[in-house]
Structure 1
Amino acid sequence: MGKRVRETERKYDAGHGPGTVRADLAGLSPGSRALDAVHLEAVYYDTAGLALAAHRVTLRRRTGGDDAGWHLKLPAAQADTRTEVQLPLTPAADGPPQELRSEVAALLRGRELQPVVRLATSRRLVLLLDERGTTLAEVAYDRVKARVLPEGPASEWTEVEVEVGQDQDESAGTALLDAVEQRLTAAGLHRSAAASKLARALGGLLVAPPAGPPAVPGTAGQTATGYLHAQLTAILALDPAVRRDEDDAVHQMRVATRRARSALKSFRKELDRAVTDPLGAELTWLAAVLGAERDREVLAERLAERLGDLDPELATGAVQDRLHALAARSSTASRTALLRTLDGDRYFALLDTLEAVIAAPPYRRGARKPAAEAAAATVRRDHARLRRGIEAALALEPGEDKDVALHEARKSAKRARYSGEAVQPVLGAPAKAHTGRMKKLQQLLGEHQDSVLCRIALTGAGADARAAGEDPAPYEALVRAERARAADVEAALPQAWEQADQEL
């Protein structure tokens, strides 16, 4: 497993000349120490179309210095900060390690990695230290020579990198960066326009991706694409976390997928359905694959809770083993299917299509309407749809038909919630309050659906136990407990709906 570190640094352009940069750093820290100069060699890898660099991601193999190895740098939300994944050196002929390839699989989408830039850096390093000798920041004076591979243009420059020590508090680190920047500015340096050495070496060869939608939409179309852009960003960020099997990553990626799909439905007056309906079908497919793993997680948690509540005389070892095996079987199958999906052409094509829709939106005439007017109408449509569904469900007697109707109402509540989220940049607090009401209702309906699914699983486990000659009573008791929970939810729903049924 690669080492993951948080890197906060700033870069400063010192020009193209061979002269040595001089900056007065005295008094910025209790102590300092200059290290011997080192020579660093790095080869950067990317696709032929520079897919990684376009997303401000760098992947390199570095030799020399005390951090030789494979380094993958990923952008973070905070300014000047990135996440770096480090792995030990392996032979260059083997290419980047699979673990790092997996981290960027959603950007590569099956395309091959190849060497794109070679850098040679002569580095002088000055450490800014506290009273105990702990590094507060590293100031690196770099003389860089770059060559675009295989036989592209060469360039060279001088720059200064200032990186905060790993143990530094964020606010203290920012304050120190600001103080160092003042000294460097006084010495004639200025912030580098390039985000990385790689970006500077590539120069005009690097084509940045299209700018995202404005933070505050001016039109109905921008509201729609802004929300879609946010969900694509979330999916790309969560993809490696899902592959690493991090807690809640599958759930969060599934939610982002459902939000994108829901937006395509809510904004049908703004986006051409001939384009978005096929994309929506693919998002439904992806959500289902993610859902299998998520449903397994929810079922395992719920079975554990029910076992904890079960009469100890009924919670025999055989019962526990059967229910644990039920969750384990579904876990292995769903996890395998999920990873196969994330490495498949269909998933990569979905990402390509979603990017294309955002970059060149298939706008209808309604997309030109003022954002606020259209946003309110969108939320009202989704709320009216929810009202029809939930009132019809509440009118039914308890039973399978009501379970199905409440599940459909839950879907409508999600759609109403997500459209409320989408229009918050336009409508502000009223939309936020509406979203909160929809979320509470959706969670209550979700509890009901989880109970239904758990009851189905328990009924099946009971049938298997009976067929094996075991006592079905424990499973019948667990089913009764789930029926009681569902009944409690159904009893609470009328009041919950009354509180949620407010016009925007």
Structure 2
Amino acid sequence: MAERHLEIEQKYDAAADFVLPELDGLPGVASAGEPEVHDLHASYFDTADLRLAAHGITLRRRRGGTDAGWHLKMPAGPEGKHELRAPLGRPLVVPAQLAGLVSAYTRGEELRPVATLETRRTVVRLLAENGDELVEVADDLVTGRGGTNGEPERWREIEVELKDGTPELLKAAGKRLRKSGAKKGKSSSKLGRLLGEAVVPSVSAAARAAARSRITAATSNGKGPSVTTGEVVVAYLAEQVEAVVAFDPKARLGEEDAVHRMRVASRRLRSILRSYRAVLDEERIAALGPELRWLAAVLGEVRDLEVLRMRFAEAPAFLLEDLEKRERAAYRRMNASLKEPRYFALLDALDGLIADPPLAEAADRKARKELPGLVTRAWNRLAKDYASISTADDPDEARHETRKTAKRARYAAELAVPVLGVGAKRVVKDAKRIQEVLGGHQDGVIAMEHLGAAAKRTRVPAEAFTLGVLYGKEQCASEAARDRLSTTWSQTLGPSF
């Protein structure tokens, strides 16, 4: 397993004659350590078309310094990066785990060297009174090869990395550097600076940014361009495609809530393709629905077990151990599925959905006029399904279907929020409340099914008794959620545009 940690740093550009200022005396800093000099050699790996760089990801093999080895850095907020490390190994063979974590981006394409950086690094560590390292300041003289012009490029930059210090200290150190002549870095990574315009933003990111820009201009003061329904739909779809890919490596690593959020993004995509089918060419999107349902099912096995483990956090050890064992096995199956050509083909199809949107005639209509009807249609379907519960042969199945249509109504309204504002937000809130009440009921049903199956497997009377007690609690909780449904529904307002 690769070593993992969160890296939070700021970069500053500096002239050749820049003099690093005195850094002791900053908040919490008792002293600055003696400068340490390291010579670093890094080879950066990417696909031929720089897919990793397009998503702000760097993969390198670095020799020299105190952390020689393979480093994979992935964005984690505006100033943070998740960094995973592996031993040096072989020069041209990317460690399997690191290659797997970026496979949603590479999709079978070869990872090969695309640039090298030689760095003379001078490190100054800012220390607390007890000797703890608060911040590391690295003064780097860099020579890069592999840029667009083919010639070596040289520059100087200062990296300020947070260790055990506070964000306030990071900010104060940056302020002192700027007062001494340093400037906020033009790029978040050395590789990004070297490659420059050779890095093309991902299709989904570019489409989302363009559409969001027009939507913002159109809704900020009413004087902007007339936004079409198609533009709003594509912006939302692009956001969800980005989310699926961004949460992929986090899901593979088992990070908290990552599988859930990746699954939600896949469900949002499938839901919008259904709710907004009047805006989209049904023939061109027909194949996406089953594949998105397959992906949601792959992720769903893990997610259902995660929910049960959290729900039974205070349960006896024998039950938790069984759940954890099943969850580990589900993760293995999930990771195997995420290596399949079927998954990569789906990602390619989603990219195609954004690059060449399958828009129908209704897509050209003004969003302010078209979206209210589409959101209302999704809500009316929810109302119809809710009404069917009282006459259904299987009320639990009807509740389950109503929960699914509540999600679709919620997502349909979410898409429209940038254009319709408060009216759409109210629909989102109402649909979410219905979804959560029915979710509480459904979670209880799933928990009871699991407990019932576990009771059949055990031969220990004490365990069977404990499972019976837990079953009774889940049944009460599920019935209480079910009984809240009518009250919750009576408090909804529905669409009003």
The interval holding the TM-score normalised by the smaller chain is: 0.7 to 0.9
Task: Give the match for residue 63 of structure 1.
Answer: 63
**Shift in Å at residue 84 of structure 1?**
2.4
State the 1:271 CA deviation: 2.3
Partner of 2:160: 163
Q: 1:386 to 1:26 in 2, by over 3 A?
A: same
Partner residue in 1 for 2:482: 490
**Helix, strand or coil at the partner of 1:500:** coil
CA distance in 2, matches of 1:443, 1:500: 13
Aligned partners of 1:300 and 1:241: how far apart in 2? 19
Which of 292, 296, 301 is equivalent to 1:283? 292
Distance across 2 between alignment mates of 1:132 and 1:328: 40
Q: Where in structure 2 are the equivalents of 1:27-426 lying within 5 Å?
A: 29=25, 32=32, 35-78=35-78, 80-93=79-92, 95-127=93-125, 137-148=135-146, 153-185=150-182, 190-210=183-203, 211=206, 212-213=208-209, 214-215=211-212, 217=215, 218-300=227-309, 327=323, 330-331=326-327, 333-396=329-392, 401-426=394-419
Rounded to whole Å, the distance in 1 between the matches of 2:130 and 2:476 is 62
CA shift for structure 1 position 475: 7.2
Do the aligned partners of 2:229 and 2:367 also contact (CA within 8 Å) in 1? yes
Distance 1:484 1:456 in 2: 14
Give the secondary structure class of the aligned counterpart of 1:162. strand
1:29/1:461 CA distance change after superposition, 3 Å: closer
Provide, for residues 369-413 of structure 1, a one-character-per-residue CA deviation record: whole Å limited to 9, x for no partner. Answer: 3333333222211111100010111344xxx61111111111000
User: In the superposition, relative to structure 1, how do residues 139 and 459 fare at CA in structure 2: closer, same or farther (>3 Å)?
Assistant: closer
Amino acid paired to 1:153: G
CA shift for structure 1 position 478: 6.5
> Which segment is superposed worse, 157-166 or 287-296?
157-166
Tell me: CA distance 1:219–1:166, structure 2 relative to 1, closer, same or farther (3 Å).
Answer: farther
TM superposition shift of 1:349: 1.4
**Residues 203 and 455 (structure 1), Cα distance of their counterparts in 2 relative to 1, 3 Å cut:** closer
Q: Distance in 2 between matches of 1:332 and 1:442?
A: 28
| CA deviation after TM superposition for structure 1 residue 102, in Å | 2.9
- SS for the counterpart of 2:52 is helix
User: Structure 2 matches for 1:438-457, cutoff 5 A?
Assistant: 438-457=431-450
Encode CA deviations 1:406-437: one digit per residue, 9 max, x unaligned.
Answer: 11111000111122222222233333332222
One-letter identity of the residue aligned with 2:434: L
CA distance in 2, matches of 1:485, 1:51: 48
The secondary structure found in structure 2 opposite 1:362 is coil
Deviation sequence 1:107-160 (CA, Å, 0-9, x none): 1222221122122122334455666666555444433222239x9923121221
Check whether the contact 1:33–1:126 (CA below 8 A) recurs between aligned residues. Answer: yes
CA separation of 1:326 and 1:153: change in aligned 2, threshold 3 A: same
Q: Provide closer, same or farther for how the CA distance between residues 228 and 168 of structure 1 changes in structure 2, counting only shifts above 3 A.
A: farther
RMSD: 3.4
Name the amino acid aligned to 1:285. Answer: W
Deviation at 1:496, TM superposition (A): 1.3
Question: Are the equivalent residues in 1 in contact too, given 2:11–2:188 (CA < 8 A)?
Answer: no
Moved more, 325-334 or 426-435: 325-334
Shift of 1:343: 1.2
**Contact 2:14–2:181 (CA under 8 A) maintained in structure 1:** no
Deviates more, 1:127-136 or 1:492-501: 127-136
- Rounded Cα–Cα distance in structure 2 between residues aligned with 1:41 and 1:58: 15
TM-score where L is the length of structure 2: 0.84
SS for the counterpart of 1:423 is helix
How far apart in 1 are the matches of 2:174 and 2:463? 68
Q: Distance in 2 between matches of 1:476 and 1:192?
A: 61
* Residue aligning to 1:17: none
> Which is greater in Rg?
1
Q: Deviations over 1:264-311 (max 9, x none)?
A: 122222222222231122111100111122223334555677x78xxx
Partners of 1:283 and 1:296 lie apart in 2 by 20
Q: Which residue of 1 aligns with 2:219?
A: none
SS for the counterpart of 2:428 is helix
Deviations 1:298-337 (A, max 9, x none): 34555677x78xxxxxxxxxxx96x668746753553332
Of 283-292 and 169-178, more deviation after overlay is shown by: 169-178
**Do 1:3 and 1:87's aligned partners in 2 also have CA atoms closer than 8 Å?**
no
**Distance in 2 between residues matched to 1:195 and 1:472, nearest whole Å:** 57
Aligned residue type for 2:96: Q
Tell me if structure 1 keeps the 8 A contact 2:270–2:293.
yes
| C-alpha distance in structure 1 between counterparts of 2:324 and 2:141, whole Å | 55
- TM superposition shift of 1:223: 2.0
Contact 1:139 1:161 in 2 (8 A): yes
Deviations 1:211-235 (A, max 9, x none): 1334362332222222222222222
- What TM-score do you get using the length of structure 1 for normalisation? 0.83
CA distance in 2, matches of 1:471, 1:10: 57
Distance 1:271 1:387 in 2: 24
* 1:126 to 1:425, Cα distance in 2 relative to 1, 3 A: same
Moved more, 57-66 or 4-13: 4-13
Is 1:23 aligned with 2:32? no
The alignment of Structure 1 onto Structure 2 pairs a total of residues equal to 475
Gaps of 5+ in 2: 216-226
What letter matches 1:250 in structure 2?
V
Mapped pair 1:6 → 2:15: no
1:333–1:131 distance in 2 versus 1, CA, 3 Å:
closer
Which amino acid in the other structure matches residue 500 of structure 1?
Answer: T
Worse overlay, 431-440 or 283-292: 431-440
Distance 1:29 1:470 in 2: 63
| More moved, 409-418 vs 431-440 | 431-440
In the alignment, the residues of structure 2 paired with residue 200 and residue 494 of structure 1 have an alpha-carbon distance, to the nearest angstrom, of 58
